[in-house]
């Protein structure tokens, strides 16, 4: 080979030999002696950070407050409760199941793992109008949390596994709040009151010395149980017996990771609240069945202006939005752009197989849980007073604020440093008094 003028053949050969030696060294004996702090050192002995796949995971609840309540309860394992009438979106189903568990603890009964009622459109797919708890929540987490926090409670995975089922009386159907209909919420404050009323009611069906198990099917209970009859520690942690199913948690994490990357936001996604990142907005514009006081705030024009003004005042130029009505999102994206505010959604952030998995595998109620999780970490959140999802999020997020006692004092229906619920002050008192955060 003809070398360029001025290049000594001996030095060229030596250079070639050195390059070959270095290649062999890297290939067969990786140079781990490079400084570990050098960012390009892929052979650093320091573990390489991997993006978290699931930032919404947490261990089974082990609650001292629940243990105290359960230790004071008089238990009667012959009474078993079935709760299979929880329906609606994630906030409605969640609160209904939690009420069911709380009534079971109050009565000292056993519990069959709750089931969830699905809409008529999905009855053929599920083979029934009810389906397993893991339609929305992890069954094992639920069972393990109750075993740790209320070990006295007997739990059955299915009604067919109830001990001595062949000798059972029932099921007897009971709407739990029907026992307290003569009491106001201010007078019905103690679970013990409901327990006494329950056993008096039960006597009309079976004698106290009945030998077989007694099965009671509790009807749907949504915004009726006065949660602050329990102490604050119980109230704040009780909801953690429920944890969203893993595949939906991973999709929500993926949406947040994409948001962080695409909008160049250096976020620590494991934090409960992502500061200075985005405003979460839940549009609730379906006016059907609303009280007159809610109809004004149900209008898209009113809601959207509230939310865009909040984004501007918070200096947040990015909104993550979801809606009960699909066409609202397109309108909101356009309105946001006129004020230099970017609006994004889960369908923008989930790409390829993730988006296909979301749309092909899950019902609309399940898909909305992705929004529910993403909203939980928003820098600020906004909704309206007739929305159960908005209230559930605001009440849960309130735990992370320094404000503790003035969130209902106006000018909005609910307001703290992290969340606003728009509507008249004092409206919908059933949410702060009866929705588990």
- Intervals of the chain under pLDDT 50: 1-4, 6-7, 11-12, 14-15, 18-19, 21-49
User: pLDDT at position 128, please?
Assistant: 67
Question: Can you list the alpha helix ranges (DSSP code H) found in 239-351?
Answer: 246-262, 292-295, 300-313, 326-337, 346-349
Q: For 273-282, b where at least 16 C-beta lie within 10 A, e where not — what string?
A: bbeebbbbbb
Query: Residues 6 or more apart from 19 whose CB is under 8 A from it?
Result: none
User: pLDDT at position 382, please?
Assistant: 98
User: pLDDT at position 212, please?
Assistant: 86
> What are the backbone dihedrals phi and psi of residue 116, each rounded to the nearest 5 degrees, phi first?
-120, 135
For the record, the structure tokens of 187 come out as: 């007078």
User: pLDDT at position 3, please?
Assistant: 45
Query: Residues 6 or more apart from 161 whose CB is under 8 A from it?
Result: none
* pTM recorded for the entire structure: 0.86
User: pLDDT at position 22, please?
Assistant: 42
How does pLDDT run across 234-271, given as a tens digit for each residue? Answer: 999 999 999 999 999 999 999 999 999 999 999 999 99
Burial (Cβ within 10 Å: 0-12, 13-18, ≥19) of residue 433:
middle
Helix (H) or strand (E) holding 392: helix 388-397
Secondary structure of 144-165 as H, E, C letters: HHHHHHCCCCCEECCHHHCCCH
Residue 93 Cα distances to 48, 98, 134, 138, 142, angstroms: 40, 9, 12, 14, 14
Q: Tell me the domains of the chain and their CATH numbers.
A: 1-49 (no CATH), 64-241 (3.40.50), 246-434 (3.40.50)
User: pLDDT at position 124, please?
Assistant: 63
How does pLDDT run across 147-191, given as a tens digit for each residue? Answer: 999 999 999 999 999 999 888 999 999 999 999 876 655 555 667
Cα of 393 vs its chain's centroid, Å: 8
């Amino acid at each position: 080979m003809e070398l360029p003028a001025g290049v000594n053949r001996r030095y060229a050969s030596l250079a070639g030999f050195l390059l070959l030696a270095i290649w062999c060294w890297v290939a067969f004996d990786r140079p781990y002696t490079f400084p570990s702090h050098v960012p390009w050192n892929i052979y650093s002995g320091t573990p390489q950070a991997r993006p978290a796949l699931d930032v919404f995971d947490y261990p089974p609840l082990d609650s001292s407050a629940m243990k105290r309540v359960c230790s004071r309860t008089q238990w009667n394992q012959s009474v078993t409760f079935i709760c299979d009438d929880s329906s609606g979106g994630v906030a409605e189903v969640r609160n209904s199941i939690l009420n069911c568990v709380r009534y079971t603890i109050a009565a000292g009964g056993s519990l069959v793992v709750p089931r969830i009622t699905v809409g008529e459109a999905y009855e053929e797919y599920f083979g029934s109008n009810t389906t397993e708890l893991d339609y929305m929540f992890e069954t094992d987490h639920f069972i393990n949390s109750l075993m740790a926090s209320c070990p006295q409670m007997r739990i059955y995975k299915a009604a067919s596994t109830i001990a001595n089922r062949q000798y059972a009386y029932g099921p007897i159907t009971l709407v739990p709040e029907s026992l307290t209909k003569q009491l106001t919420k201010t007078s019905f404050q103690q679970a013990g009151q409901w327990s006494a009323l329950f056993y008096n009611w039960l006597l009309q069906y079976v004698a106290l010395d009945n030998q077989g198990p007694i099965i009671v099917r509790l009807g749907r209970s949504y915004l009726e149980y006065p949660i602050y009859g329990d102490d604050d520690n119980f109230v704040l942690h009780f909801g953690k017996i429920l944890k969203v199913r893993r595949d939906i948690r991973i999709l929500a994490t993926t949406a947040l990771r994409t948001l962080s990357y695409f909008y160049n936001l250096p976020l620590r996604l494991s934090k409960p609240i992502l500061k200075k990142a985005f405003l979460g907005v839940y549009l609730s514009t379906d006016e059907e069945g609303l009280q007159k006081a809610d109809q004004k705030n149900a209008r898209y024009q009113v809601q959207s202006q509230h939310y865009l003004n909040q984004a501007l005042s918070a200096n947040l130029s990015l909104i993550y939005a979801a809606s009960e009505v699909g066409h609202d999102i397109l309108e909101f994206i356009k309105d946001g752009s006129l004020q230099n505010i970017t609006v994004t959604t889960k369908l923008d952030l989930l790409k390829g197989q993730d988006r296909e998995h979301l749309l092909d595998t899950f019902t609309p109620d399940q898909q909305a849980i992705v929004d529910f999780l993403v909203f939980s970490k928003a820098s600020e959140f906004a909704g309206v007073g007739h929305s159960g999802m908005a209230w559930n999020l605001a009440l849960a997020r309130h735990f992370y604020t320094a404000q503790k006692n003035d969130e209902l004092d106006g000018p909005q229906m609910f307001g703290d440093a992290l969340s606003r619920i728009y509507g008249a002050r004092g409206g919908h008192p059933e949410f702060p008094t009866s929705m588990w955060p």
